[in-house]
Amino acid sequence: MALMLTLAAAHAAVLVASPTLPVIAIGLWWNSNTIAHLFIHRPFFRQRVANRIFGACLSLLLGVPQALWRDRHLAHHAGLKWRFRPTGELTAQAMLVASLWAVVAVRAPAFFFSVYVPGYLGGLLLCALHGHYEHATGVTSHYGRLYNLLLFNDGYHVEHHARPGAHWTRLPEWREAEARTSVWPAPLRWLETFSLQGLERLVLRSRLLQRFVLRSHGSALAALVGDLPAVERAAVIGGGLFPRTTLILRKLLPAARITIIDANRANLDRARELLGTAAAGIDFVHARYQKQDEADCDLLIVPLSFEGNRHAIYARPPAPAVIVHDWIWRRRGVSRVVSILLLKRVNLVRRERP
C-alpha cells in the first residue's frame, strides 16, 4: 500500500511539474493499469472513508471518476454487460473532475485545449488499446520482465483473471502452463499482427523477396529436418499468404503427406494457386488449430504468427517433432537462425518417448 500511495503522489508531482502531452497521456495509461487497477481489486485502506478519499484523489489526477472505472472493470471480470448506474460516489467524483477542468480551462485555456485535452484523449486511447489487446484473441499474458517490473505484473493477465483478488506480487507463482501468451505487451500487441501480415503481403509482391525467404527458411529447415527419422505426415499451421514452409517441405520431404491448417479460407485458396502442381498430395484444412495436447502427424510446423500458447508447445510438444518459428532471441531445443534481418529463428523440440 505504501508503495502505491508514494507512486500516486509521485505521479501527481510529475504532472504538476511537467504537464506536457506525453506526461498526461502516459501517466493516465500507466496509473489506470497499475495503481488504479490494483485499488479496484484490493482497496488500500480498511476504512471506507479513506478509500473514498483516495478514489477522489485518483479521479482528480486521472480525470476519470474511479467509481465508474471500478463498476465497468468488475462487470468485465464477472462477464456481465456494464450498465451505467449513477451513485452518490460517482456523482461526487464527476463533479470534482468537472470543477477542476473548469478552473483550468478558464485560467489557462490554451494549455487546457491544446495540451491537456489531447493528452487526456491520448491516454484514453492507450487504455483502450491495452484493454482490447489483452482480450482480442482470448485472454492473453505477456511475461516480459521489464514490462512486469514497471507495471507490477500487469502482464500476468490470464493469471489475474483466474484470481482477480490475488496480490500482484503472487501472480508469477500461478503462471498458467496453458495460458495464451504474446511476446508483445498489450498496448503494442497490434504490431504482432500488423508487422507479420504486412511482411507477408510485401513478399507476395516481389519475386526477389520470395527467393530470399525461401532460401533463408530453406537452409534453416533443412538443417532441422535432416536430423529427423522418416516423416510420413507433416502439418503446417497457418498456410500464410505465401506458403513458404510447404514449398520447402515438398522438396525436403517429397514422400510425406502434408496438411495445411488455416483459419483463413482466402489464404488457403491463395496457397493452392501459388503451389500449383506441387499442391498434389497436400490437404487443405479450413480450421483454427487449437488442440495442443496431440497432433495427428509426425512433424508439426508452428508459425511465428501463432496465436496459441507457444510456451505450452515447447513444454509439451503435440507431435513427435515440432518446429516452431520464433523470434531470434528465443532459442529452444535444437535451433537454427533463419535470418538476422528478419529477427527470426526456428526451434526443433521433440516429444519425450514414454
Does the model's pTM come out above 0.95?
no
- Average pLDDT of span 82-97: 95
The helix-helix angle for 117-135 and 21-32 (nearest 10°) equals 40
Classify residue 163: in a domain, yes or no: no
- Average pLDDT of span 100-129: 97
- Domain boundary among the residues 69, 101, 136 is at 136
pLDDT in tens, 154-206: 999 999 999 999 999 999 999 987 788 888 899 988 877 666 666 676 777 78
pLDDT in tens, 219-240: 999 999 988 888 899 999 886 6
- pLDDT at site 194: 61
Residue 274 has pLDDT above 90, yes or no: no
Which residues contact residue 232 at a Cβ distance below 8 angstroms, ignoring those fewer than 6 apart?
A: 255, 256, 257, 298
Same domain flag for 263 and 127: no
**Distance of alpha carbon 145 from alpha carbon 130, whole angstroms:** 18
The rounded Cα 171 to chain-centroid distance in angstroms is 17
Please count the structural domains in the chain.
Answer: 2
Residue 90 has pLDDT above 90, yes or no: yes
**Distance of alpha carbon 239 from alpha carbon 342, whole angstroms:** 19
Same domain flag for 330 and 225: yes
Same domain flag for 211 and 126: no
Same domain flag for 216 and 319: yes
Same domain flag for 124 and 30: yes
- Average pLDDT of span 35-43: 97
- Cα distances (angstroms) measured from residue 236 to each of 159, 180, 245, 296: 30, 20, 8, 12
Same domain flag for 205 and 113: no
The rounded Cα 101 to chain-centroid distance in angstroms is 34
Same domain flag for 9 and 108: yes
Domain with residue 230: its CATH number is 3.40.50.150
- pLDDT at site 353: 65
pLDDT in tens, 275-320: 887 777 788 888 888 755 566 888 999 988 887 778 888 988 989 9
- pLDDT at site 171: 96
Same domain flag for 102 and 213: no
Q: Which domain holds residue 299?
A: 192-350
- Domain boundary among the residues 136, 159, 183 is at 136
Same domain flag for 11 and 127: yes
- pLDDT at site 239: 65
**Distance of alpha carbon 341 from alpha carbon 245, whole angstroms:** 18
Same domain flag for 202 and 325: yes
Same domain flag for 205 and 342: yes
Residue 59 grid coordinates: 479521479
pLDDT in tens, 246-256: 889 988 998 88
